[in-house]
Structures are given as C-alpha cells and as structure tokens.
Amino acid sequence: MGENGAGKSTLMKVLAGLYRPDGGHVEWRGVHADFVSPHDALVAGIAMIHQELMPIPDLTVAENITLGCEPCSSFGRIDRAAQLSQAHALLGELESDIDPSRLMRTLTVAQTQVVEIAKALGRNADIILMDEPTAALSDQEVAALFRTIARLKTRGVAIVYTTHKMDEVFRLADRISVLRDGSLVGTAPATELNPSKLIAMMVGRELAAVFPSRQSHSDEVILEVAGLTREPAYRDVTFQVRRGEVVALAGLMGAGRTEVVSAIYGLQPASGGQICFKGRTLSILSPQDALAVGIGMVTEDRKGLGLIPDLGVGQNMTLTALRDFSRGPLLDHGAESKAVASRMTEFAVKASAPSQPISQLSGGNQQKALLARCLLGEPDLIILDEPTRGIDIGAKAEIYALIQQLARAGKAILLVSSELPEVLSLAHRIVVLRRGSVSATLDATSTDQETVLRHAMPL
Amino acid sequence: MLTLDRNLLHRFGLLLVILIVGLALSVSTDAFLSVANLTNVARQVSINGILAVGVTFVLLTAGVDLSLGSVVALSGVACATFAHPGEYSVFVPLAIGLLTGAACGLLNGVLVTRGGVAPFIVTLGMMTIARGLALILSGGRPVANMSNELTALAGDIWGVPIPVLCFAGVAITAWFFLKNFRLGRHIYAVGGNENAARAAGVPVERVKLFAYGLCGLLTGLAGVVLAARITTGQPNAGQAYELDAIAAVVIGGTSLSGGVGTITGTLLGVLLIGVINNGLDLMGVSSYYQAVIKGVIIVGAVWLDRRQARS
C-alpha cells in the first residue's frame, strides 16, 4: 500500500527485472538474484501484471497470452491448437468467456486487463506481482480474480498485490507493507491493522501542513461548461469556474475527467454541448484556439503530450509563449534566457543549465518546467491534470503553494486529481464524475473523503 | 550541457575524420592538395549540399523526402524549356525552375499534413510522378540550346564557382534561420514530439508544410544549377540524389526520428562524402567499387556515432 508516487510500481518493476536497483539486492531462494531483464525474472519464476496495460493490439488474445512462451511443435512451428487451448484454459480459470481467437484491439479495457492477468498466470510463476490489477475490472471480474488468487495460494504461489482499494487489501492480504515517499514505513499482519491505522501509516503526519490555506474567490464566472458530451466517454457535463476559484474534477479512473478537460483545451473536442469562456461561447478545436483565448493546460501525460525530450529545459519552458520572446519572426535570445533564468529560480527547477535536455530531469522538475511553460502563456484559466502524479513530496508542496498563489492572483483553476486529500484541501468546489456523468457538485469545506468517494463509486 | 558536448564532440570527430581522409589523400596522390582540385571538390559537392540542407529541414520534423532526385530533373527540364536564347529574360527560367521545385515540395507537404499519408509513401509517389512529368515535358530527350546567360550560373565569380556560392549562401541562411527564427525552434519541437508540440500551441501542420516547401524550393535551385552546369535539362538527371543527400545529413548527426540535428553537421557530412568521392576518383578506383565503399562508409559512420551516443 501507499499513496500515488510512494514508489510501489518502481519497486515491483525492480523485482520483475524491468529496472535495475541503484543499491541493495534482491534475494531469491536464498541467493542474490541480479535480474537484468524481465526474461531473467520470468525464468526464475517471477511474473508481473502491469498497471499500464501493454497488449499487442494486432495479435490475437491467445497469441498475447502465450507471447514469448508459445507452445511449439516440430521445427519450431507454433502449435496453434495448443496455443488456443492453453489460452482458453487460463481464461476459464478467471471465469472469463473471451474468445481466444479474437484480436486484442477489439477488446474493452476490462477484457484487456483480464487477458493480461491470464498471461501472468500462464507463466507458472512462483511469485506473481500484481500492480493495481483491478483498476478497470467490474465487480464480477474482481470476484473471479479473487477466487483465482485464493486457488493460487493453496497451490503455494505467493502474490504481491498493490492497490489503492482498502476493501481489497483486507479481503486478500495476509501481510501488509506500507511505502511512503519511497521508504518502507512498516510491515504488519493484516489482522493487526484496520483502515484508519493503515491510512495514518500511508499519509504520515506532516501532510496536513503541506497544504496552504484556501483564499476566497470572486463571483465572476470565467468558464461555463454546459451539457458537454462525447459518447461514450462523458455526457451532459455542466459546471462553472470563477475567477480565483479552484474547482476539482474528482472521480475514479476512467470516469471521463481527462476527456472533459481535454475537450476544454481543444485536444479532443466534444461532440455536443457548449463552452463559454469569459462571457463568449467558443468553439475550441485545437490547443492553439484554447491558448489564444487564455486557456492553458498542464497535461497528465507528461511524456506523450508535454515534453519535447531533446530540447533544453529553457526551450521547453518558452515553447508556448515563444511569440513573447520574439521580435517579428526572429527570436530574442536575450529576453528568452532572462525569462528562463528567472522562472527556473522562481519554480526551483533543478537543472545543470537551461540547455540541459528536459528528458534528463526528475519527474518533479519536469513538471515544474511544464507548469512554467503554461504560466508563461499568461492564461486566465489553468487546467491541471494530475499535476502531482509521480513526483516527490517536496515538489508536491511547491506545486500546492503555487496553485494557491495563482488562485489568489485571480486565475481560475480546474484541477483533476485522484488524490482525495489534495482535492479536499486545495479546491473550493468539487465536481464528481461517475462513468462520464456529473454525480455531485460539493462544497469542499463541508465535505469529506467518504462523501466524495460515495459519489464517485459506481452504484 | 550534455547534448552540447555531444554535438561538439560529434562535429569535432567528423571534422577530424575529414582532415584525416584529406591528409591521407594529400600524401597518397599528387593531385588532391591543389587549388584546382579543391575548387573542383567544392563545385562537385555544391548540388548535393543544397539538397542536403533542404532535406535537413524535413528530417528534423521526423519526415523524409525521397523525391529529391526526380524533382531535380523536373525543375531542370522546366527551367531549360524556358531558357532558349532570345526568348525570355534569364529570370523567367530561373523562377520557373525554383517554383517547380517549391510546388512539388508543397504538394508533398499538403499530402503529409492534410492527407495524413506517411511521408515515405507521399514522397515515393512524388519520386515517380516528377520523373514521369520530366520525361513527358521533354519528350524523353534532353532539352538543349540553353542561353548563355543561364549556363553562366555554372561559371565563376572572382574565381569562385557560382554553385559553391549558392551552396554557401543557402547553408548560412539555413543555419541562421534554425538558430534565430521562431519557426526554426518550432521545427525542432515538432520533430522532437509532435503531439506535445501541438498541445503547446505550435501550428504543427504549418511548420511541416514549410519544411517540405522549403526543401522543394532548394531542390528546384539544385535542378537549375545542375541544368546550367550540364547545359541541358536532362529528364534522367539526379538519379538517387536523395540518397546521397539523406546520407550526408545523417552522417552529420541529424536523427531520422526528428528533433535533433544541425546545419553545421550537414555541412560536414556533405564535405566528407565529397572528399571521399574525389579521393576514390583520384586513386582510380572503379565506380563499381566506389559505390560499395561509399555505402560501407555511410553505415559505418552512423553506426560509430550511435554507439558513441549510447555509451
């Protein structure tokens, strides 16, 4: 267990041979194990179900399940019949009726996850590492997985299970270890713990002090979204954001939060509904349109939609507002490096030089640079999609302070976050999404985690 | 700092290789180190140089242009058709050659950006279309009888060949452009991560259109210069020129996956290929062997560079 960014996935990936440890070692059956690749770990008997699904979309379900250990007949030809029946048996164990001859690309996310689980089961491993295996599963599928886990346990297979879901932990676990900010906080038998003790271990005591106090906001509505729809991701989404206000979009993974803010920023325009910004109804078809009217966004997908990896930190920061550092079509290098220097100090971006490629920085510093990029565009509405995902607690605190400071300066902020303490402490209001629809709009000062969760959970 | 060092190291290494090859040739042949021969080398590399600078822009956006050679031929034929003595002012064939190239480049760009077709396919198509048009326009025969004003483009000014001046002008302008223009920065951003560039408000489509259009324009220039030099518009000219140009760019450190590369690197790549071509000629190596040796050197140079980059 542990919060987002506590280091759970990284630790699992070290065990599975995807990452090499900086120090220390893994002991496996009493000897030092030095896994250089996932293949080494698999051969030794360690399989992993990854949090990010990694299917090969144009192969069949059976080919994906047996990938890398295909049953072969003579001359190394793949035995198709055996491949299909193996896949069928593994899926049957998970009580799933997915046809093993279907193409991976035709499956839903939940079905893809079931296939990934079947794939790990098929390796006949002695330890199976499961990183949030139920994130996309329905209740029946979760129940089937749990029965499978119980069977595996009786067969002597050990499971390392990572999740955010309290009830799962107490239903499954014999022992619970808690990570916080990359360190082991403690390990205890599940019988000696209860949810509130566990949360105390996960959160620690210092977190309350991390959040600065909220400021009041004005009544001037900056953004008004009405009936925003794009099936099947979300429908009829309506909310407002005022000047100086922080509005959080809460909800479970897949509830449509990122899709809604992507529509407002023009990354993936909605098919219906209205976006009214500063009193004008707009059609925002690209990020360029959004930036032109004063809407900025820091994406959740840092690697895919944020960083230009080979450009320097400084050049990454000025990319959006490059026109402000130009004279006509020419760059004003002096003005640019001055702005970069001052922003790097202001945001405490740690880099050896402004020309250091941004791909070499830590996640927190990358995130601060991208925030600086967004703010250099001087937007009136700032969309922050999971702004603290995967960054350390120090950088988190700096980003929290910055959000409050921006709200105080009269910016409107739309925050998407999966971390409830963050949502509750930073936001004035919380708009909860459940399966693509708004299920509640709550006043953050008079609500609590349980209420938000109740509205976020599928009924 | 690390890329800076790496780029410097790369360029320094390349320069060193060129010097070593040059030194070896000076020792082994009498002809290499003479003003006449070095001028000749410069003249010979200028067409490949102009093409390489153009295609650097396209490669930087993570695209590719395979139509260079054919468009060289088409532009040359189009230019020569309007260059008969006493018909038009010299500026007409010149402009027609350049515009033909630019039009082909822009069409490539439109199909890549609006049509969403992969650059490899689009420019492969353009490669055969432009070749076909050159043959149609010329009736399959060289277009001769060009005016002296136009063929003078292959001559000298104060002892320096005009094609070399063209190449130098193009290279310096391109270097300045990539360094100091907003559009230059945008080209690196688009090649580095197209989706992120779009999300940051970079007009990705316009940037790519510019890169292909500029590459086409420079290809047109190369076509005109070539036509002036061989005093005819040859529909079969420029075969496989795109390969030499792309090879020079890649040897110069530009990444085929975009976002990384410099004009200085391209310049050195062009020089290396030019010096090697010249040296093999001087040593009397048969052209069959030359092709093999050149191929080995191209792959070897890039392999060494990538190995260095990984370590």
CA of B71 to nearest chain A CA: how many angstroms apart? 29
Same domain, A169 and A225: no
Overall average pLDDT of the A77-85 stretch: 89
Say if the Cβ atoms of B200 and A373 lie within 8 Å. yes
User: Which residue among A172, A204, A236 closes a domain?
Assistant: A204
Same domain, A178 and A93: yes
Tell me: the pLDDT tens digits for B155-210? 989 889 999 999 999 999 999 999 999 999 999 999 999 999 999 999 999 999 99
CA of B284 to nearest chain A CA: how many angstroms apart? 43
d(CA A165, CA A168): 6
Same domain, A192 and A282: no
Domain boundaries, chain B: 48-271
d(CA B58, CA B109): 10
User: Which residue among A204, A222, A239 closes a domain?
Assistant: A204
What's the pLDDT score for residue B310? 60
Q: CA angle, A312 as apex, A311 and A315 as ends, to 5°? A: 85
Q: Which residue has the tokens 């007409």?
A: B92
d(CA A249, CA A297): 14
Strand, helix or coil for residue A423: helix
What's the pLDDT score for residue A213? 65
Tell me: the pLDDT tens digits for A130-161? 988 887 777 778 888 898 889 889 988 999 99
Residue A3 predicted with pLDDT over 80: no
**Would you list which residues of chain A are within 8 Å, Cβ to Cβ, of chain B?**
265, 267, 286-288, 291, 297, 299, 304-312, 315, 319-320, 322-323, 326, 329-331, 333, 352-353, 355-357, 360, 373, 377
Q: Which residue has the tokens 């193409």?
A: A103
Contact A213, A427 (CB under 8 A): no
- B188 neighbourhood in chain A, CB within 8 Å: 308, 310-311, 315
d(CA B215, CA B200): 25
Overall average pLDDT of the B128-153 stretch: 94
In 3D space, the residue among A442, A387, A433, A386 whose CA is nearest the CA of residue A256 turns out to be A433
Nearest-CB residue to A306 (from B184, B185, B196) = B196
Residue B97 predicted with pLDDT over 50: yes
What's the pLDDT score for residue A293? 95
- Residue of chain B whose alpha carbon sits nearest to that of A332: B180
What's the pLDDT score for residue B174? 98
Whether A3 maps to a domain, the answer reads no
CA of B185 to nearest chain A CA: how many angstroms apart? 8
Say if the Cβ atoms of B183 and A329 lie within 8 Å. yes
Number of Cβ atoms within 10 Å of the Cβ of B51: 32
What's the pLDDT score for residue A231? 86
Residue A193 predicted with pLDDT over 90: no
Strand, helix or coil for residue B128: helix
* Residues facing residue A452 across a β-bridge: none
A-B interface: how many C-beta pairs under 8 angstroms? Answer: 83
* Residues facing residue A272 across a β-bridge: A229
Which residue range forms the structural domain that includes residue A244? 209-456
Contact B218, B170 (CB under 8 A): yes
Tell me: the pLDDT tens digits for A270-319? 999 999 999 999 999 999 999 999 999 999 888 889 999 999 999 999 99
Question: Tokens for A60?
Answer: 């069949």
What's the pLDDT score for residue B300? 84
Contact B152, B229 (CB under 8 A): no
Same domain, A166 and A266: no
Q: Judge whether B178 is closer than 8 Å to chain A, CB to CB.
A: no
In 3D space, the residue among A49, A5, A43, A41 whose CA is nearest the CA of residue A20 turns out to be A41
Rg (CA), chain A: 24
Residue A208 predicted with pLDDT over 60: no
Contact A367, A302 (CB under 8 A): yes
Nearest-CB residue to A308 (from B3, B182, B193) = B193
Whether A1 maps to a domain, the answer reads no
Whether A2 maps to a domain, the answer reads no
Question: Tokens for B133?
Answer: 């048009």
Average pLDDT, rounded, for chain A: 87
Kind plus residue range of the DSSP H or E element containing B54? helix B35-60
* pTM, to two decimals: 0.80
Number of Cβ atoms within 10 Å of the Cβ of B282: 15
Number of structural domains in chain A: 2
- Residue of chain B whose alpha carbon sits nearest to that of A296: B200
Contacts (Cβ under 8 Å, ≥6 apart) of B125: none
Contact A25, A19 (CB under 8 A): no
Q: What is the largest CA-CA distance in chain A?
A: 76
Question: Tokens for B235?
Answer: 């529909």
Tell me: the pLDDT tens digits for A18-51? 888 888 888 888 888 888 888 888 888 999 988 7
Residue A207 predicted with pLDDT over 70: no
Edge-first strand listing for the sheet containing A437-443 = A295-298, A381-385, A412-416, A246-250, A429-434, A437-443
**Terminus-to-terminus CA distance in chain A, angstroms?**
25
Q: What are phi and psi of A83, to 5 degrees?
A: -60, -45
d(CA B279, CA B22): 8
In 3D space, the residue among A31, A415, A444, A311 whose CA is nearest the CA of residue B192 turns out to be A311
Say if the Cβ atoms of A331 and B202 lie within 8 Å. no
d(CA A72, CA A76): 5
d(CA B148, CA B90): 9
How sure is the predictor about A204, in pLDDT bands with cuts at 50, 70 and 90?
Answer: low
| Three-class SS of A172-218 | HCCEEEEEECCEEEEEEEHHHCCHHHHHHHHHCCCHHHHCCCCCCCC
Lowest mean pLDDT among A236-240, B40-44, B104-108: B40-44
Contact B71, B101 (CB under 8 A): yes
How sure is the predictor about B3, in pLDDT bands with cuts at 50, 70 and 90?
Answer: very low
What's the pLDDT score for residue B309? 63
Same domain, A185 and A282: no
Rg (CA), chain B: 19
Q: CA angle, B156 as apex, B154 and B162 as ends, to 5°? A: 55
Residue B214 predicted with pLDDT over 80: yes
- Report the C-alpha dihedral over residues A268, A272, A277, A281, rounded to 10 degrees: 130
What's the pLDDT score for residue A22? 84
Region of residue B118 (phi > 0: left; psi between -120 and 50: alpha; otherwise: beta): beta
Same domain, A256 and A161: no
Say if the Cβ atoms of B201 and A329 lie within 8 Å. no
Same domain, A174 and A319: no
What's the pLDDT score for residue A425? 86
Say if the Cβ atoms of B182 and A330 lie within 8 Å. yes
Same domain, A196 and A235: no
d(CA B110, CA B126): 12
Lowest mean pLDDT among A195-199, A381-385, B138-142: A195-199
- Residue of chain A whose alpha carbon sits nearest to that of B177: A330
Nearest-CB residue to B199 (from A287, A311, A323) = A287
Residue B10 predicted with pLDDT over 80: no
How sure is the predictor about B229, in pLDDT bands with cuts at 50, 70 and 90?
Answer: very high
Same domain, A193 and A217: no
Contacts (Cβ under 8 Å, ≥6 apart) of B286: none
CA of A5 to nearest chain B CA: how many angstroms apart? 23
Nearest-CB residue to A305 (from B192, B196, B201) = B196
Tell me: the pLDDT tens digits for A168-192? 888 889 999 998 878 898 899 988 9
Contact B205, B106 (CB under 8 A): no
How sure is the predictor about B2, in pLDDT bands with cuts at 50, 70 and 90?
Answer: very low
Q: What is the largest CA-CA distance in chain B?
A: 62
User: Which residue among A204, A223, A246 closes a domain?
Assistant: A204
What's the pLDDT score for residue B8? 66
Rounded to two decimals, the ipTM of the complex is 0.86
Q: Is the peptide bond before A232 cis (omega within 30 degrees of 0)?
A: yes
Contact A97, A110 (CB under 8 A): no
- A322 neighbourhood in chain B, CB within 8 Å: 182, 185-186
Q: Which residue has the tokens 């565009």?
A: A377
CATH value at residue A381? 3.40.50.300
What's the pLDDT score for residue A4? 59
What's the pLDDT score for residue A210? 54
Residue A409 predicted with pLDDT over 60: yes
- Report the C-alpha dihedral over residues A379, A383, A386, A388, rounded to 10 degrees: 30
DSSP letter (8 states) at residue A37: S
d(CA B105, CA B216): 4
Q: Judge whether B3 is closer than 8 Å to chain A, CB to CB.
A: yes
Say if the Cβ atoms of B180 and A331 lie within 8 Å. yes
Tell me: the pLDDT tens digits for B50-95? 999 999 999 999 999 999 999 999 999 999 999 999 889 999 999 9
Contact B229, B154 (CB under 8 A): yes
Say if the Cβ atoms of A305 and B259 lie within 8 Å. no
What's the pLDDT score for residue B308? 66
What's the pLDDT score for residue A224? 95
What's the pLDDT score for residue A139? 75
d(CA A61, CA B304): 41
Same domain, A180 and A284: no
Same domain, A42 and A137: yes
DSSP letter (8 states) at residue A431: E
From the number of C-beta atoms within 10 Å of its C-beta (0-12, 13-18, 19+), residue A416 rates as: buried
Sign of CA dihedral B95, B101, B104, B110: negative
- Residue of chain A whose alpha carbon sits nearest to that of B261: A310
The count of residues in chain A is: 459
Q: What are phi and psi of A28, to 5 degrees?
A: -130, 115
CA of B263 to nearest chain A CA: how many angstroms apart? 16
